[in-house]
Chains A and B, each alone.
Chain A
């Protein structure tokens, strides 16, 4: 017996170096350059552009994440169950987190933070206005069957910003140094492999320069070229119009004047795809309808187009719309606004034309809900969502949502334009970097491959 044990120990000792060589190594600083805002955006409903949503995801934690297959994986929540078909129960790590989450979701649907993402919470009885935590549990009573609720709740707009006092909130925490994230050693799921992440804001040229100079290991917002990762194009941009303020033939005039493919190809930062229907092609891959002819000319008509002044793509698109509608007899005045004011004007219905960009969930049903709300047709949510939610099979349910999106497209005062995704470039040494179904990078499992075995393992291409 003694010899046997001794031999076993010798065998294990002999195997240890091999085990050690195969283990993912800890440590290292990940230098990230990005084209997003230099200042972190504190409101998840505002930080919805791909790069900003990616940056925000480093400092926030949703209750769940959708893995690349689209299945929800718990993140902030410890458990997510359905005691009944119309009740969801979320278990959170602490009482304070449960209360914070309930308050955050209540605020999203409140008048002080108007956002179309409130449609994600529409199925909740009272639309989350009555939400309250019961201990560490938050119960979500649904007003109609809505099997996509779990997937909807994984949307980044419903995530909680990280705080340094809550170790369970994520693998990294912000430090006093600007743009520096430190690994959280006490993270319950295990400390991340990376020691720290350094975020550097720049523009596209700076991004290209830093990448060429090998000053960064991860570039967010890169143009799609060979070797550039692109997430699903779910950041959709629409032109919302007020039927009361624009002529009745506006949609026809617009559709006849604007070529989405040209618009996307020539004026929108890649990666981008034109979007002929209410949902992005990633969710609704259907050929576009033929473009209508121009309506009969009927004098000069003046409208004002509001757009997000911080969004360069929207500026270029707004100017293009101005040029093309000019040929249809429209005098389009452009008015750039800060994003919060733009959302406020949207909530009040105070606009003629407005460009809106929304990060849609990768699920057709919730995505359609957000789009309908953005179109100012919140009244349709109570009609359309129960019909979609009534379909039990997920594939059939998604198909129903797509059908409704196609059917509703010409009737709602919103014109889809294009959808964008996140362009990302990473050095080969960076392993374990994955994109979730939303197209956002996850740094939880990222690590640096040792020099002798540098291989892009675990990195989807």
Chain B
């Protein structure tokens, strides 16, 4: 990981750690506070709902008691006593019920037969056991029961809080059972005062529902005997929203802090690492061979000292290298001159000796002079020819033309080269293994020269004992390869490093430029010439070129 990245991360971590510690703590405190507040609100609302229910029931109880003590009821009882079938009509209870703000009222006879029902007039003439049972409980407080009322889709049971009171006239006893329905109206009222979703339930059935509570919710239940229960559902959405708001603010803060820390880290890291990076780049360039590298980054302290030392070092290195190159160049020329002189000097000795022999024979009037002249002239001509060949080779090495590249099928090229050796010397066998379709971009003439040189070298290596010359053309995904392998004595390991140098040869009469020229041609093609094989078992030269697709 780069220093700059590490520094930026360190800054970010520095910014995150305090947030990571503070945010959970703050959120937990906030959550606890909101939860306490919601609990308190729910407690208050539940108490309000309870009190509202009790108030409604109490009002209904007072209304029923007022009804049974009213003159209206007294008149009704008297009329019923006198005219049992006519006094109480189907709508009698409904009028009494509405005028007293009740939502349940049934008038029963002593046997529990409904004489008139305000909440369900059609019940008239029937017993209503559940409602009449309230008369036997003699409870001073309103009693929760289920009563049947009309709904849109038929009858439905609705819980109610009712009070039963008798009305006596002579031997006649009527019962007035009245109260309040726990219906939609009440649910709406409770929902208004509690700010909760209120559902009135009778068993599993929801009788009325009002208000709404967005999830998530918390529930409180007010049981009303076995008849019903009031369920208050409070929304935690507001608390959750507040919590989420604070969390969001913290996250935003953390995000900004993190971004700022990273930015600051990057800036600081840049200031710190810029000279280091410049030094690294300078070192890399030096490694690549550049000699005039100078680091210009501004730095102070130890890094500044390092920059100055580096610049001094590269200056020194450049001057030293220049001196070394000049020395090497001189040494190379000296070597070439030495070798060239050596090569030229070799023919000069036979020439000199032949000419001295001729001069001595001519001075001595030797009769063998004509013969000697002929032999000496032949030697001189041969050595001159050798000198010219040396010069030609040297000239060719020095003026090797730029290759003209075109796609060349190496299999086909190798086949044409091998056709020149259709009749190899006795004891030598050519074994070609040529893969067609291996194409490389190359100068056909120069590559032919390389292959001819390699095959010729192999033949010369086998001229004493004979053997086999294997020529292989093969291709890899990226390379086109021609291998020339012989079974001759091979190349000693100590010679392998020098065989591509000019004028290095182990052969009798060799110029030492063949492999040097071949190697240089392949370099010009972007390829290379490799030598392999085990010493004593043969040599293997591999021509490796980039494969053309």
| Residue ranges of A at the interface with B (Cβ–Cβ < 8 Å) | 262, 265-267, 302, 316, 319-320, 322-324, 326, 330-334
Contacts and interface: CB of A to CB of B under 8 A. Distances in A.
Nearest to B152: A333
Given A266-B124, A334-B150, 14 more contacts: A265-B85, A266-B90, A266-B125, A302-B154, A316-B90, A319-B150, A322-B150, A322-B155, A323-B123, A326-B155, A330-B154, A331-B153, A332-B154, A333-B154
Contacts of B90: 266-267, 316
Nearest to A305: B154
A267 B153 contact: no
Contacts of A320: 122, 124
Contacts of A322: 122, 150, 154-155
Given A266-B90, A267-B90, A319 B154 contact: no
A323 B122 contact: yes
B549 to A, nearest CB: 82
- Name the interface size band of chain B: 10 to 19
Given A316-B90, A323-B148, A262 B153 contact: no
28 contacts: A262-B125, A265-B85, A266-B90, A266-B125, A267-B122, A267-B124, A302-B154, A316-B122, A319-B121, A320-B122, A320-B124, A322-B122, A322-B150, A322-B155, A323-B120, A323-B122, A323-B123, A323-B126, A323-B148, A323-B155, A326-B148, A326-B155, A330-B154, A331-B155, A332-B154, A333-B153, A333-B154, A334-B150
A41 B80 CA distance: 39
Contacts of B153: 302, 331, 333
Interface in B5-29: none
A331 B154 contact: yes
Interface in B130-151: 148, 150
B221 to A, nearest CB: 28
A326 B128 CA distance: 14
A300 to B, nearest CB: 9
Nearest to A268: B90
Interface string B107-124: 000000000000011111
A426 to B, nearest CB: 22
Interface string B64-86: 00000000000000000000010
B120 to A, nearest CB: 7
Most buried by B among A320, A330, A332: A320
Contacts of A323: 120, 122-123, 126, 148, 155
B121 A326 contact: no
Contact of B154 (A262, A266, A316, A326): A326
Contacts of A267: 90, 122, 124
Nearest to B116: A266
Interface string B150-188: 101111000000000000000000000000000000000
Contact of A319 (B85, B122, B152): B122
Contacts of A331: 153-155
Nearest to B117: A323
Nearest to B123: A323
Contacts of A302: 153-154
B111 to A, nearest CB: 15
A323 B122 CA distance: 7
Interface in B399-438: none
B251 to A, nearest CB: 54
A361 B120 CA distance: 35
B527 to A, nearest CB: 95
Contacts of B125: 262, 265-266
Contacts of A319: 120-122, 150
Contacts of B121: 316, 319
A265 B90 CA distance: 10
A287 B155 CA distance: 33
A331 B126 CA distance: 18
A266 B150 CA distance: 18
A316 B123 CA distance: 10
What are the nearest 3 A-B pairs in CB distance?
A331-B154, A319-B122, A320-B122
Most buried by B among A323, A326, A331: A323
A262 B125 CA distance: 7
A369 B211 CA distance: 56
Contacts of B124: 266-267, 320
A261 to B, nearest CB: 10
A302 B125 CA distance: 25
B3 to A, nearest CB: 80
A417 to B, nearest CB: 14
Contacts of A316: 90, 121-122
A319 B125 CA distance: 13
Nearest to A320: B122
A332 B148 CA distance: 14
B122 to A, nearest CB: 4
B457 to A, nearest CB: 109
A267 B92 CA distance: 12
A326 B152 CA distance: 13
Nearest to B85: A265
B168 to A, nearest CB: 24
A132 B152 CA distance: 49
A316 B155 CA distance: 14
A331 B121 CA distance: 17
B105 to A, nearest CB: 16
Contacts of A266: 90, 124-125
Contacts of A265: 85, 125
A324 B124 CA distance: 11
Nearest to A270: B86
Contacts of A324: 122
A157 B153 CA distance: 35
A302 B155 CA distance: 11
A322 B122 CA distance: 8
A218 to B, nearest CB: 23
Contacts of A334: 150
B316 to A, nearest CB: 107
Contacts of A332: 154
A267 B148 CA distance: 18
Nearest to A331: B154
A262 B114 CA distance: 13
Contacts of B148: 323, 326
A259 to B, nearest CB: 8
Interface in B486-502: none
Most buried by B among A262, A302, A319, A330: A319
Contacts of B126: 323
